[in-house]
């Protein structure tokens, strides 16, 4: 078998395992998910899974983040509020609605228990999205749309905190109205000084 055919076979098998993981996680929940059940559903041996992923958490993380395009690019219309709104709503539609909402909550919970999962989640999703937001805020600050002394990393934290609070703590829906209210309140304090 040549290398391309081996890689294609390996990629197809990995995708089958990821799909089985997502199906079972949706049926059973993360807590009841097991490597044995995934192996049975995917039609592979446990060792096949463990050669690719060191733990159930690592497999789950990869399955969730590989299931959809999770890197969300920012639009740049020249209006920072409109651009943030569009990007936040795209993230909400992807992560806070079925089928990924429960899976993403479970993934965030697992990241609180497992330092390796937390690091991988940060590397693959949180850090790239944070940097994209900071880059977009910096561009807006440079264009005079934001206060010139704005702490961009703190602004990112202030922006994301209420979203995660609503999603994880109150478990209330992330509506368009909520996002609009959040952005209005935030930018009342972040705008350039007169």
Query: What CA–CA distance (Å, rounded) separates 46 from 5?
Result: 23
In the predicted model, what is the mean pLDDT of residues 120-149? 91
Q: What is the pTM of this model?
A: 0.79
Domain layout of the chain by residue ranges? 3-55, 68-190
Q: What is the CATH number of domain 68-190?
A: 1.10.357.10
Q: At residue 139, does pLDDT exceed 60?
A: yes
pLDDT digits (tens, 9 = 90+) for 156-177: 999 999 999 999 999 889 999 9
Superfamily of domain 3-55: Homeodomain-like (1.10.10.60)
């Amino acid at each position: 078998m040549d290398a391309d055919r081996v890689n294609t076979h390996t990629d197809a098998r990995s995708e089958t395992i990821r799909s089985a993981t997502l199906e079972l996680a949706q049926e059973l929940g993360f807590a009841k998910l097991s490597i044995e059940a995934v192996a049975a559903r995917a039609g592979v041996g446990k060792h096949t899974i463990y050669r690719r992923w060191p733990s159930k958490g690592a497999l789950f993380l990869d399955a969730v983040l590989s299931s959809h395009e999770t890197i969300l690019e920012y639009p740049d219309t020249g209006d920072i509020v409109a651009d943030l709104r569009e990007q936040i709503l795209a993230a909400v539609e992807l992560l806070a609605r079925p089928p990924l909402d429960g899976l993403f909550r479970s993934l965030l919970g697992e990241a609180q228990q497992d330092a390796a999962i937390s690091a991988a989640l940060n590397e693959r999703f949180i850090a790239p999205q944070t940097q994209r937001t900071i880059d977009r805020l910096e561009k807006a600050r440079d264009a005079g749309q934001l206060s010139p002394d704005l702490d961009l990393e703190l602004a990112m934290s202030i922006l994301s905190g209420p979203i995660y609070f609503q999603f994880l703590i109150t478990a209330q829906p992330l509506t368009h109205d909520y996002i609009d209210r959040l952005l209005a309140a935030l930018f009342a304090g972040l705008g350039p000084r007169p």
